[in-house]
Amino acid sequence: MNVVDIISKKRDGGVLSAEEIDFFVKGYTDGTIADYQASALLMAVCINGMTEEETSSLTLCIRDSGDTVDLSGIEGIKVDKHSTGGVGDKTTLVVAPIVAACGVRVAKMSGRGLGHTGGTLDKLESIKGFSTVMERERFVKTVNTTGLSVIGQSGNLAPADKKLYALRDVTGTINSIPLIASSIMGKKLASGADRIVLDVKTGNGAFMSNLSDASALAEAMVNIGKAAGKPTVALITDMESPLGRAVGNSLEVAEAIETLKGRGEERFLTLCLSLAAEMLCAAKKGSTEECLSMARDAVESGRALTAFRVMVIAQGGDPCQVDDTSLLPKACIVHPFVAEKSGYITEQRALSYGKAACELGAGRKRKEDGVDHSAGVYINKKLGEWVEKGDVIAQLHTSDADLLSRAEAYIAEGTKISEEKPILPPVIICKVNEQGVSSWTN
């Protein structure tokens, strides 16, 4: 088999066989296929696309390129949740404890943030002493004992994806639905869950800015899950404005804890309950409506907060910071962004607020950068709310005053005020499963 023939075939619109895709993935992973040859094939895929069968084959090759996680030692049906990334997206910190409190064990492997998109591990590491590194055997034991654990990916998980993603990042081949879908699902399938729930964001702060592309990505991933024997469901959710009020690591942890205490921002709580219900439904705990009721009760009873606290203790974190969120890392500088006129907030662009938080030190511009756990943006006035001239719309948290001007410029760019009250988009736009696209109501 010859890689040049494979490149030429895809360049001319041909369909690659499973054997050709396997030859390419193995060859690029072990270094026998050069970067320039892989770049050529990736560009051909971007231009000509892939069939469902090709995309599934690529995903399975990515899954099998390294270690796979065996979760068979964990009792019950294992359900994984994955978000395609957004601004202020701290849903795992709320959803996982809700699901665990309802009797479904959650073994979650998460990642770090890059750019305007935050990472679950960075958020959890805001808690003093919290460790996201754990041996596999201890991970399984912890989940069986406490019902919940969130750690970083370890070992040689999907090495083909790491190489392919790095190459796509520098060759203009990121925006390809087959390549995105296979990248996400290759890692998810290697992580060992029995079923998968996806939160596919759409809007200016999401990877997929328009609904059409988000729907296509969701359908592609659901089809991959079906082909791999891992039932998958996706909720397509709004990311035009930041999720909740906090953007930044310790700020988001505090908001997640307040949400678990029953004091969460309404739209954020709605999304968390909906995702938790889908996970519970996937674990065969009941109908969607019954699972939604279970999720609400887990919050209202305090059981979800207890599950989060137990996880923090099990992973070396300080439970006092759960009991009193004022003990979490705090920035030495808190700068107000005020309204220049009265009116309704008609635009609050997620991307702008995410860039501001990153500028303040909450995110990474390069993978090797560190983060300031105390930095970020707290939104006092949300999209659709009325403000008077001089009201504080947002607070900018940082440890470096020199970072304020650029961050404030991003907030100003992303905030609009007018006299007409806006109509807010639904939090959950639709649901995609093996039966197709449907509405999601609660």
The answer for residues whose C-beta is within 8 angstroms of residue 146's C-beta and 6 or more apart is 100, 307, 310, 311, 314
Task: Please state, in angstroms and rounded to a whole number, the distance separating the CA atoms of residues 104 and 82.
Answer: 16
Q: In what order do the strands lie in the sheet with 343-348?
A: 386-387, 343-348, 415-418
Task: Please state, in angstroms and rounded to a whole number, the distance separating the CA atoms of residues 209 and 227.
Answer: 27
Listed in sequence order, the DSSP H helices in 12-90 are 18-30, 35-48, 52-63
Is 416 designated active site? no
* b/e code 365-402 from CB counts within 10 Å (16+ = b): eeeeeebbbbbbbbbebbbeeebeeeeebbbbbbeeee
Q: Which of 168, 245, 285, 397 is an active site residue?
A: 168
Q: Which of 57, 176, 182, 183 is an active site residue?
A: 183
The answer for residues whose C-beta is within 8 angstroms of residue 322's C-beta and 6 or more apart is 127, 257, 305, 308, 309, 312
Cβ atoms < 10 Å from Cβ of 26: 15
Tokens found for residue 394: 């947002």
Q: What is the DSSP string of 218-269?
A: HHHHHHHHHHTT--EEEEEEE-SS-SSSEESHHHHHHHHHHHHTT---HHHH
- Tokens 């440890």 found at: 399
Q: Which of 112, 116, 187, 381 is an active site residue?
A: 187
Q: Which of 82, 163, 382, 397 is an active site residue?
A: 82
Is 128 designated active site? no
Q: Which of 22, 80, 122, 161 is an active site residue?
A: 161
Q: Which helix (H) or strand (E) holds 417?
A: strand 415-418
In this structure, are residues 192 and 68 in contact, taking their beta carbons and an 8 Å threshold? yes
Is 11 designated active site? no
Residue 375 to residues 88, 199, 250, 360: CA-CA distances in angstroms?
Answer: 13, 26, 8, 6
Task: Please state, in angstroms and rounded to a whole number, the distance separating the CA atoms of residues 91 and 83.
Answer: 9
Is 154 designated active site? no
Torsion angle of the four alpha carbons 303, 152, 85, 407, in this order, in degrees rounded to the nearest 10: 100
Indicate the burial class of 434 (C-beta count within 10 angstroms; 0-12, 13-18, 19 or more). exposed
Is 83 designated active site? no
Name the packing angle between helices 91-101 and 249-260 (round to 10°): 30
Give the pairing of strands 79-83 and 195-202.
parallel
Task: Please state, in angstroms and rounded to a whole number, the distance separating the CA atoms of residues 74 and 96.
Answer: 16
- The set of catalytic residues is 82, 161, 168, 183, 187
